[in-house]
Amino acid sequence: MTIPEGLQRILATANDVVVLTGAGISAESGIPTFRGEDGLWSKLKPEELASFDAFLSNPELVSEWYQHRRHITRESKPNAAHTALVEMEKYFRRFTVVTQNVDNLHRRAGSKNIAELHGNIERNYCLGCRKRYDGADFDANGSFRCSKCGGLIRPDIVWFGEMLPADQWDVAETAAATADVMFVVGTSAVVYPAAELPVTVRRSGGKIVEVNIEETPLTGFADFSLQGSASNVLSEIIDKIKELRGVAKDTE
């Protein structure tokens, strides 16, 4: 892949960079995406698994489904795309990863400035007393009922019909409003309000670079559309950044 001249100029001069990621960035780590032929939502009904009503009417089923997804993500590792973003963070004055993923892989890879728009399946809390069951604590509890009050323990993620965490959304919106460039990586760009963020970037004069294996509703709107897997494309981008910008911030 040749990186277009115009994009090279942006990579060389941008100060403020945002990356919006979706399930596609974790696909190469072995985590299934949601839409498309092999996507989770082609076989399962979101309203039966990913809503508060579903949880209340069948807590065992919903809890077991999330525990299954937790096992998949724990057995997987961040891939070259996640790692490239960790590297990129070192080259720009401001660098924010805004993710729709709940899989914790950006954190595990080592990205520092992350807004998690849809929560994180490694965090859980009791609906009754708000006691937290994070990471291994949830497994150690041995049940999806709270050991303190017997209440239901839910994952700290955003289900259909729920509001996004206000603090994370604020970080994302502020970053989008000031970004020189936003990379939109591995997302079908159809779930709102996350899908609004590229519009905010453009309205404030920033550029949009899409990275995806196929076209999405955003492709026509993007300034640059790089077709390929997230790991290949982002590896090339970070190599080009190194070539153009030289030494990273923290090694200067």
Tell me the catalytic residues. Answer: 118
Which residues, at least 6 apart from 196, have a Cβ–Cβ distance to it below 8 Å? none
99's contact among ligand OAD, Zn ion, none, with CB below 5 to 8 A by partner kind, is none
Reported as type and span, the H/E element at residue 23 is none
CB-nearer residue toward ligand OAD: 95 or 183: 183
> Of 238, 243, 226, 220, which Cα lies nearest the Cα of 2?
226
The answer to whether the CB of 183 falls within 8 A of the CB of 17 is: yes
Note whether 197 binds ligand OAD by CB under 6 A: no
CB-nearer residue toward ligand OAD: 96 or 229: 229
Hey, what are 62's tokens? 């919903």
240's contact among Zn ion, ligand OAD, none, with CB below 5 to 8 A by partner kind, is none
Note whether 45 binds Zn ion by CB under 5 A: no
* Cα(142)–Cα(42) distance, integer angstroms: 31
Min dist CB 129 to ligand OAD, Å, is: 25
Mask: binding to ligand OAD, 17-36, rule CB under 6 A, as x and -?
-----xxx--xx----xxxx
125 forms beta bridges with 132, 154
Min dist CB 106 to ligand OAD, Å, is: 13
27's contact among ligand OAD, Zn ion, none, with CB below 5 to 8 A by partner kind, is ligand OAD
| Candidate list 3, 18, 126, 197; residue touching Zn ion; CB under 5 A | 126
The answer to whether the CB of 114 falls within 8 A of the CB of 107 is: yes
Min dist CB 149 to ligand OAD, Å, is: 27
Note whether 148 binds Zn ion by CB under 5 A: yes
Min dist CB 178 to Zn ion, Å, is: 40
CB-nearer residue toward ligand OAD: 86 or 191: 191
- Residue ranges with strand state E in the chain: 16-21, 94-99, 114-116, 119-126, 153-157, 181-185, 207-212, 224-227
79's contact among Zn ion, ligand OAD, none, with CB below 5 to 8 A by partner kind, is none
Note whether 39 binds Zn ion by CB under 5 A: no
* Cα(202)–Cα(184) distance, integer angstroms: 13
The answer to whether the CB of 218 falls within 8 A of the CB of 197 is: no
Which residues, at least 6 apart from 188, have a Cβ–Cβ distance to it below 8 Å? 22, 24, 34, 35, 36, 216, 217
151's contact among ligand OAD, Zn ion, none, with CB below 5 to 8 A by partner kind, is Zn ion
CB-nearer residue toward ligand OAD: 214 or 250: 214
Note whether 131 binds Zn ion by CB under 5 A: yes
> Of 240, 184, 188, 172, which Cα lies nearest the Cα of 209?
184
Which residues contribute to the site for Zn ion (CB under 5 A)?
Answer: 126, 128-129, 131, 146, 148-149, 151
